[in-house]
Amino acid sequence: MAIEVRVPTILRSYTGGAKTVEGAGSTLTELIDDLDAKHNGLKGRLITAEGGLHRFVNIYVNDEDVRFLGALDAKLSDGDSITILPAVAGGALGFAAAAALLGR
Amino acid sequence: MARYESLLDALGGTPLVGLPRLSPAVPEGAPPVRLWAKLEDHNPTGSIKDRPAFFMVREAEESGHLRPGDTILEPTSGNTGIALAMVAKLRGYRLVCVMPENVSSERVQLLRMYGAEIIFSPAAGGSNQAVATAKQIAAEHPDWKMLFQYGNQANARAHYETTGPELLQDLPTITHFVAGLGTTGTLMGTGRFLKEKVEGIQIVAAEPRYGEVVYGLRNIDEGYVPELYDASVLDRRFSVGTRDAVLRTRQLVEVEGIFAGFSSGAILHAALAVAHDAVKNGKRADVAFVIADGGWKYLSTGAYGGTLNDAEDALEGQLWA
């Protein structure tokens, strides 16, 4: 079962520079385990030590945020498209500037 | 009511219009699924941001944070700046906006016209460059006041007190509310109000997905989640790419005659997704979504004409929402 996963630039050091990789699994947890087996260390960037999704990582199944689809238990099907993105909403640079102004 | 004592009094009360042509067809005998657009471009400066701008300034005045003649410093990629510039002008403040240089030229012209001063953070340098710029400004001007829309509860409260009640009054049968996710103020405020009043309502977020150039992050830990964001208010959250946003923005004007900015196209894309789900499940749905602003400020991008590929190229590296 093949699922296409789009990897952001900042995580491509784990995929040998590849923009998209293929994985397998019937849940997001299984998929991430499968990806980690092929791209060692990737899991550690997506999942915290406590076992949840990293706060600044958003993962989308067919453009929908997995946090609202059961998070790591989200069900996956053959042909699904997964996108991993860093958490920045509109006006990314504005956010960074604002955070800096407030000393955060 | 059509007469107001001043421009600020004309805030809100925007029209909610049905979209009979873009609403999905349902099988005969199935319950109706209807799309409704809240035309926030009808606000005084032409965007939904007039609501939070006015509420944030008024609250800062009431709390004593803002005093006559003060300078307001706000990081903004456009509409909030334009709205704040108008409010600042009418209330007697000076406004300085810090914004990335990769926003449309109309936004910059509008800000200057309203009297705002602009400090650009370089787009090419990514967020670390923007951080450096902002730190420098803050250090040089410790007396400037920030309203900070990403963490200011008055931003969400504007929508709790105005957008939400307006929607409920105009569409008591509402089943879904769809809006853009930036500062998260619209969704948090409107969403909380509607969840208190309408059983089973679904609050749906559409966030723009830009090309990676725009993010400019070096690692995951540079990410940012606005302080206002509370995931428990949302039921679904969609990431909408440039192509889908442009396609839907064009459909809005071609099919329903609504000339909107690209963030509204992204919102319509998510609204159509939930509408089609309702059709598939044979459920009645009244899906209200936000037209955040008109398309005027984005004409110079060239993305309203040509092929979708051309439009995608034209918007590459731009903050279109």
Looking at residue A53, which CATH number applies to its domain?
3.10.20.30
Q: What ipTM was estimated for this complex?
A: 0.81
Element (H or E) spanning B84, and its range? Answer: helix B79-91
Single residue among B140, B175, B194 that ends a domain in this structure: B140
Q: Is residue B146 part of a domain?
A: no
Q: Is residue B2 part of a domain?
A: no
Residue B49 falls in the annotated catalytic set: yes
A11: chain B residues, CB-CB within 8 Å: 220
Same domain, B36 and B130: no
Task: Tell whether residue B242 is among the known ligand binding residues.
Answer: no
Does residue B182 belong to the interface with chain A, where contact is any CB pair within 8 Å?
yes
Tens of pLDDT, residue by residue over B272-313, are: 999 999 999 999 999 999 999 999 988 888 888 888 888 777
> CATH number, domain at B64?
3.40.50.1100
Residue B99 or residue B21, greater confidence: B21
Same domain, B82 and B166: no
Residue B64: CB atoms within 10 Å: 7
The verdict on a CB contact (< 8 Å) between B75 and A54 is no
Same domain, B214 and B245: yes
Domain span including residue B192:
7-42+162-307
pLDDT, residue B321, reads: 58
Q: How many domains does chain A have?
A: 1
pLDDT, residue A104, reads: 41
Same domain, B232 and B292: yes
Does residue B107 belong to the interface with chain A, where contact is any CB pair within 8 Å?
no
A-facing residues of B in 1-40 (CB < 8 A) are none
HSE toward the beta carbon, residue B209, CA cutoff 13 A? 25
Q: Is residue B85 part of a domain?
A: yes
The verdict on a CB contact (< 8 Å) between B237 and A65 is yes
Tens of pLDDT, residue by residue over B115-158, are: 999 988 776 654 455 556 766 787 799 899 888 888 899 999 99
**b/e per residue B31-59 (b: at least 16 CB within 10 A):** eebbbbbbbbbbbbbbbbbbbbbbbbbbb
Q: Is residue B152 part of a domain?
A: no
Chain A: nearest CA to B35, how far in angstroms? Answer: 20
Same domain, B192 and B290: yes
Q: Is residue B316 part of a domain?
A: no
Q: How many CB pairs under 8 A join A and B?
A: 153
Same domain, B88 and B24: no
Q: Stretch A78-99: mean pLDDT, rounded?
A: 66
Domain span including residue A71:
3-101
pLDDT, residue B221, reads: 65
Active-site residue (options: B23, B38, B47, B49): B49
Q: Is residue B155 part of a domain?
A: no
B-facing residues of A in 26-85 (CB < 8 A) are 45, 54-58, 60, 63-65, 67-68, 83, 85
End-to-end alpha carbon distance in chain B: 31
pLDDT, residue B124, reads: 62
Tens of pLDDT, residue by residue over B172-203, are: 999 999 999 888 999 999 999 999 999 999 99
Q: How many domains does chain B have?
A: 2
Same domain, B209 and B287: yes
Residue B264: CB atoms within 10 Å: 32
Which of B76, B135, B234 is the closest to A100 by Cβ? B135
Same domain, B183 and B254: yes
Contacts of A42 (CB under 8 A, 6+ apart): A11, A14, A15, A32, A35, A36
